Amino acid sequence: MMSEAGSKSHLVLMPSYDAGSRLVPTVQEALKSWQPVWVVIDGSKDGSAEAVVDARLPGVKVIVLPENRGKGAAVMAGMLAARNAGFRYALVMDSDGQHPADCIPKFMELSLQNPGAMILGEPEFGPEAPAERKRGRRIGNWWTNLETLWGGIGDSLFGFRVYPIHETLGVMESTRGGRRMDFDTQVAVRLYWRGVKPINVKVPVRYLTREQGGVSHFHYVRDNLLLIKAHTLLTLGMLGRIPKLRRLHKS
């Protein structure tokens, strides 16, 4: 599955914006499970970009974007470079230590066994998870279920996922949306519309305190408005796809 030099088909792709002191340890944790790991620095100004470059970690490639474009745009930049390098699948994970790096091999193995699927993490929250985040997910998940006619996407927002690169770039290039915090929702729904089946895997997620180096760039009002807009457009887009979605359910 993976040679000493690393996988030639699957890579870990880590978009990062001002992840602070958590970036280098998170990359190191990922390297214990998989190589290569590509980090896309999304216009960070906190010194984390210089830290991961200076660490000179074997198996790591760092792509630096000069200005902040948003998570979806950073993932696209990384996937474009990965596709040009011959990779076919990318496991996308956050750079702040919330996602479980020890689950990477399981996700990659599932992807190898199911090459036509997207492997979606379904979070298991601990008691420290903010209650408003859990409530917001339940609402977003209901809309995602509607937009796919209950096609089986377990969680619409969790960013620990394996995507087929060619298909993901295809759906992202077909829309102006999905460039920021709406990426995970948009890409999962639009991939499903194209016939990419979801496989859901429960994984633990941890919320780090500020003292532990935890960071969050989710802006409650701005990003919720962005998600409302995304769900509105996806619901409208779903209406003309109802016959196709019914066929997908039967296939």
Token pair 């997908």 in the structure block, residue: 248
Q: What is the pLDDT of residue 219?
A: 61
pLDDT digits (tens, 9 = 90+) for 118-144: 999 999 887 666 666 667 788 999 999
Confidence of residue 5 (pLDDT cuts 50, 70, 90): low
In this prediction, residues 167-184 reach a mean pLDDT of 90
Mean pLDDT for all residues in the chain = 90
Q: Which amino acid is at 38?
A: W
State if pTM tops 0.85. yes
pLDDT at 217: 55
Decide if domain 10-250 falls under CATH 3.90.1150.10: no
pLDDT in tens, 231-244: 999 999 999 999 99
**pLDDT value, residue 35:** 97
**Alpha-carbon separation of residue 89 from 10, 96, 123, 139, 210 (angstroms):** 5, 22, 21, 29, 33
Is residue 208 predicted with pLDDT exceeding 80? no
